[in-house]
């Protein structure tokens, strides 16, 4: 096989795999473990460590909790902001920021392990965090759109009775991730468009909403 043939074969394989994933997602088969239940986890990236760096860091900052609400869109927005709001100069580590999100996780614990893995994918790993701290890097999210994706309705139709808790829904968040820091003693900023989906439940008995799972960053439902 020539290098050209091999390249074409690889491209065809990528297209086939991508198409298969999209078909499964839109059909609502195993949408992040919500319909078929917890799946056997794939190997996950290294989890953020709470171990402090060797060099003394700044004084620790107290993080605000995600406020309780029974409004699903308001809750989705609060979760989105918490996912992206961090500051390496706070004296905290990624695990501290992850804890804020996990505090509003499914109280039954069914999706908690999967959610912890989801959240870890949104935060820098410990080694990266320590490097970013040298530049006083901080981040926040500017939300530009929030909507219930059409694919969610299809997923709900595929679910059997009792597979989704009452009040479960999904919101796709679109926005701009802003980062700021200091490079060569000069302030610097960057902006990057992001999109993701928040899966949540707001029980009909007026209990506060809680978080189920998150899509992979930049792979939202539409």
How far apart are alpha carbons 105 and 27 in whole angstroms? 25
Best-predicted range by mean pLDDT (6-15, 21-30, 90-99): 90-99
pLDDT of residue 1: 52
Residues 120-166: pLDDT tens digits?
Answer: 999 999 999 999 999 999 999 999 999 999 999 999 999 888 889 99
Residues 61-81: pLDDT tens digits?
Answer: 789 999 999 999 999 999 999
Q: Are 199 and 148 in contact (CB under 8 A)?
A: no
**34 pLDDT tier (thresholds 50, 70, 90):** low
pLDDT at 13 over 80: no
pLDDT at 28 over 90: no
Of residues 91 and 32, more confidence is placed in 91
pLDDT at 60 over 90: no
The region that residue 63 occupies, defined by phi over 0 for left and psi between -120 and 50 for alpha, beta otherwise, is beta
Side-chain-side CA neighbours of residue 35 (13 Å): 19
pLDDT at 90 over 50: yes
pLDDT at 117 over 70: yes
| HEC letters along 129-194 | HHHHHCCCCEEEEEEEEEECCHHHHHHHHHCCCCCCCCCEEEEEEEEEEEEEEEECCEEEEEEEEE
Q: How far is CA 198 from the centre of its chain?
A: 7
pTM for this entry: 0.76
């Amino acid at each position: 096989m020539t290098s050209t043939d091999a390249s074409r074969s690889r491209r065809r394989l990528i297209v086939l795999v991508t198409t298969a994933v999209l078909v499964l997602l839109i059909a609502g088969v195993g949408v992040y473990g919500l319909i078929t239940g917890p799946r056997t986890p794939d190997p996950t990236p290294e989890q953020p460590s709470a171990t402090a760096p060797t060099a003394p860091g700044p004084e620790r900052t107290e993080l605000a909790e995600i406020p309780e609400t029974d409004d699903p869109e308001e809750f989705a927005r609060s979760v989105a902001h918490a996912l992206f709001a961090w500051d390496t100069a706070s004296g905290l580590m990624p695990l501290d920021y992850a804890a804020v999100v996990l505090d509003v996780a499914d109280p039954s614990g069914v999706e908690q392990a999967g959610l912890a893995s989801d959240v870890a994918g949104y935060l820098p790993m410990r080694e990266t965090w320590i490097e970013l701290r040298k530049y006083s890097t901080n981040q926040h999210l500017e939300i530009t759109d929030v909507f219930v994706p059409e694919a969610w309705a299809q997923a709900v139709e595929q679910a059997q009775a009792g597979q989704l808790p009452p009040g479960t829904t999904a919101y796709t968040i679109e926005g701009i991730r802003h980062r700021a820091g200091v490079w060569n003693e000069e302030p610097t900023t960057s902006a990057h468009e992001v999109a993701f989906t928040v899966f949540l439940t707001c029980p009909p008995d007026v209990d506060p909403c809680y978080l189920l799972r998150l899509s992979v960053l930049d792979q939202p439902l539409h």
